[in-house]
Amino acid sequence: MNVAQLLLRTASVFPERTAIMQGERKVFNYRQLAHRAASIATYLKSDVGLVPGDRVALFMTNHVAYLEILYGIWWAGLVAVPINAKLHPKEVAYILDNAGAACLFCSDALATPVGSIADTLPSLRRVVAVDSADYARLLSAAPAALVPRAPDDLVWLFYTSGTTGFPKGVMQTHRNLLTMTSCYFTDVDDVAPGDAMVYAAPFSHGAGIYHFPYLLRGALHVIPESQGFEPDELCQLSKHIGQLTLFAAPTMVRRLVAHIETHAVDPTGFKTIIYGGGPMYTEDIRKALSVMGNRFVQIYGQGECPMTITALSREHLADSAHPRWLERIASVGTAQSMVEVITTDDHGLALAPGEIGEIRVRGDVVMAGYWNNPDASAAALQDGWLRTGDVGRMDADGFLTLHDRSKDLIISGGANIYPREVEEVLLRDPRVHEVSVIGKPDTEWGEVVVAFVVAEQVTAAELDTLCLDHIARFKRPKHYHFIDALPKNHYGKVLKTALREQLARYNPHQDTETPERS
């Protein structure tokens, strides 16, 4: 089944319901959205000459036209390649070339950098700026009939963030995204007709993938006027529209919670805040719950298993009377309803509860593989399981706690040290805003623990004492580096590779047990 069938159905059943809002302004209803998507499909098929399976890229900010273009691509049986609007032109060029994109839609503000690379890409036939007269004209085309697709046909090429080497194109199928949508209703949240999903995080990533449940229920899709994440703007939208839901990285949640607390904002206009995409530390979620109440759900997924590995429900987050509540809110929850999740040893054998190993997942939401990369596909997909590369442990009740990426594990003196455990302890000090722990090569120990800390008026000696009060002596950082901000990618994930590069530039003779600000 073609995922565009979801829009066709909603436009038939609820044609007059508002579909798209820009800020507080209504833009299109579902009948108009479907008509525009079908006209875009006509343009792609007739004018550009594309056939089912061809790739069409979107290099756009969170624009009101994003959904209609996505569905126009799918309506024509094509494959969408969303690209983060913050990427460098060279990164965009790599993705376009690797995907063999035949057509590109871009925001006007991004048209100039696109123009500098378009002529170098042999596969690229057409570039369309979405605020141009050309785009307005293509919307006047007669609507095309929806092209049927098989469940395992490719629908979305999701390019990984590329923190190590070149990004890989994750092949997501119609079956993958429909399964994810079913899991949303069971494991994440229900959606009522008046509910609104606001896109404050990039549409090219998880926030955009989460549009499906809202479209299926004929609910609202809200594009902020800023086209991004602004806490004050979100609070105003929650007051005006109400029943507001958003997907946010933990760093965004921290900013929103701080704004609401500082300005005494009434949080009742927010229905659900779904967080994921990075570690949410225990102290941060406790603070969020105390300020905003029972409005949070956590999900754990990857592009390779989009948004659908585990979920930590609002019920579990709110159950502070449970004897293991603190352990549970530090976890990423339990397996979502349509996947199996296990932890394994180095040989792929399932581990008992409480043992730490690699997380593997299987089910109809797991990717078909990496685009034109059979070696990487074979390494990631083994015996029907996706090897996530993440390390964690599952308790007897099925709650999964993440430790780190397997490549981030620190082995010091033969002992395994998981950076997140150390980070959780350091964040107990309220003066510490952010922290990231990595390993540094050491001739005696193999590796030693190094902490990069964003903090106010705290010393290394104080943090060392804190660690000694909570974790084994061998786990505490050997060195502390105080910095103004942690390096992050466009999705808010901390770039430990950049920290390792930064560490390599330091003079090793300047390191001491408790160094001053570096």
pLDDT in tens, 153-169: 999 999 986 544 578 99
Residue 277 has pLDDT above 90, yes or no: no
User: Which of the given ranges, 47-56, 156-165, 419-428, has the highest pLDDT on average?
Assistant: 47-56
pLDDT in tens, 79-132: 999 998 888 788 889 999 999 999 999 998 887 777 778 788 989 999 999 999
Helix ranges (DSSP H) in 381-505? 419-426, 460-470, 496-505
Q: Strands (DSSP E) along 269-406, which ranges?
A: 270-275, 296-302, 305-312, 334-335, 339-344, 356-363, 369-370, 381-382, 385-394, 400-405
CB 182 within 8 A of CB 338: yes
> What percent of the chain is predicted at pLDDT more than 90?
75
The conformation of residue 322, written as its DSSP 8-state character, comes to S
Distance CA 469, CA 447 (A): 22
Give the mean model confidence (pLDDT) for residues 23-46: 98
Give the mean model confidence (pLDDT) for residues 251-258: 92
Distance CA 50, CA 124 (A): 11
Q: What is the pLDDT of residue 165?
A: 59
262-280 CB burial, b ≥16 within 10 A, e <16: eeebebebbbbbbbbbebb
Residue 341 has pLDDT above 70, yes or no: yes
Q: What is the pLDDT of residue 233?
A: 98
Dihedral pair phi/psi, residue 88, rounded to 5°: -70, 150
Q: What is the pLDDT of residue 188?
A: 98
Is 3.30.300.30 the CATH number for 409-510? yes
Q: What is the pLDDT of residue 500?
A: 87
Give the mean model confidence (pLDDT) for residues 415-436: 87
Q: What is the pLDDT of residue 512?
A: 39
Give the mean model confidence (pLDDT) for residues 208-222: 97
Q: What is the pLDDT of residue 232?
A: 97
> What percent of the chain is predicted at pLDDT more than 70?
95
Q: Distance between terminal CA atoms of the chain? A: 56
Give the mean model confidence (pLDDT) for residues 280-292: 93
Residue type, 511: D
User: How does residue 514 score in pLDDT terms, banded at 50, 70 and 90?
Assistant: very low
Tokens of 414: 């033969």
Q: What is the pLDDT of residue 109?
A: 80
Give the mean model confidence (pLDDT) for residues 426-444: 89
Q: What is the pLDDT of residue 162?
A: 52
pLDDT in tens, 393-407: 999 999 999 886 667
Residue 480 has pLDDT above 70, yes or no: yes
Tokens of 23: 């800020």
26's CB contacts (< 8 A; 6+ apart) are 18, 20
* Average pLDDT along the chain: 91
Q: Model's pTM, two decimal places?
A: 0.82
The larger pLDDT score, comparing residue 500 to residue 409, is at 500
Q: Which helix (H) or strand (E) holds 431?
A: none
Q: What is the pLDDT of residue 518?
A: 35
CB 5 within 8 A of CB 147: no
Q: Any idea of the CA torsion for 181, 185, 187, 190, to the nearest 10 degrees?
A: 140
Distance CA 273, CA 259 (A): 15
Alpha carbon 237 to chain centroid distance?
Answer: 22
Q: What is the pLDDT of residue 497?
A: 82
Residue 35 has pLDDT above 50, yes or no: yes
Distance CA 227, CA 232 (A): 13
Least confident range from 212-226, 305-319, 330-344, 419-433: namely 419-433
Q: What is the pLDDT of residue 161?
A: 66
CB atoms within 10 A of CB 507: 7
User: How does residue 450 score in pLDDT terms, banded at 50, 70 and 90?
Assistant: very high
Distance CA 250, CA 273 (A): 10
User: How does residue 260 score in pLDDT terms, banded at 50, 70 and 90?
Assistant: very high
User: How does residue 501 score in pLDDT terms, banded at 50, 70 and 90?
Assistant: confident
Is 3.40.50.12780 the CATH number for 4-394? yes
The ranges assigned to domains in the chain are 4-394, 409-510
414's CB contacts (< 8 A; 6+ apart) are 446
Residue 210 has pLDDT above 70, yes or no: yes
User: How does residue 453 score in pLDDT terms, banded at 50, 70 and 90?
Assistant: very high
The pairing of strands 220-223 and 196-198 is: parallel
